Amino acid sequence: MTNADICSRRFFNKIQFESTYPNPLTNRLAQSVKIPMVMENDSFSIRAAIKTCFDVDYNHMKIIRIKNTLELEHLYISECLLEEAEGNQNIEIVSEPEYMYFNKYGNLF
């Protein structure tokens, strides 16, 4: 587990806690292990993450969605980051902006 602040219940239910313990036991930093706030679904998790931000313009949020931190080749960015991404030669924009789509359970497709 990482130092996540918020996660969905479906993610939390997949955590294999024992596999997360070797690092804190080796480096003797128990405080590096924490259980995040668990929200019922992806939609509530995203809303909670936004709600806990401070000193931001909620109408112009800079959000990055990373589906898998082990594969950073593709990620999603909010429109507020589009201009910055276009100015970065290391980033290729591969699609037009689109809404995040949630299923009937509030989880991302």
Q: Tell whether 23 is covered by a domain.
A: yes
Give a yes or no: residue 29 inside a domain: yes
Residue 60 lies in a domain: yes
Residue 33 lies in a domain: yes
Q: What is the pLDDT of residues 38-96, one digit of tens each?
A: 999 999 999 999 999 989 999 999 999 998 888 899 999 999 999 999 999 999 999 99
* Domain range for 34: 6-86
Q: What is the pLDDT of residue 30?
A: 87
Give the count of domains, the chain.
1
Flag whether 102 is in a domain: no
Residue 21 has pLDDT above 60, yes or no: yes
pLDDT at 1 > cutoff 60? no
User: Is 108 contained in some domain?
Assistant: no
- Predicted TM-score (pTM) of the model is 0.80
d(CA 81, CA 88): 11
2 pLDDT exceeds 50?
no
Give a yes or no: residue 106 inside a domain: no
Which segment of 1-10, 14-23, 64-73 scores lowest on mean pLDDT? Answer: 1-10
What would the two tokens of residue 108 be? 């991302």
Where would I find the beta strands (DSSP E) of the chain?
A: 6-8, 37-39, 64-65, 76-77
The pLDDT value given to residue 33? 82
CB atoms within 10 A of CB 82: 13
On whether residue 92 sits in a domain, the answer given is: no
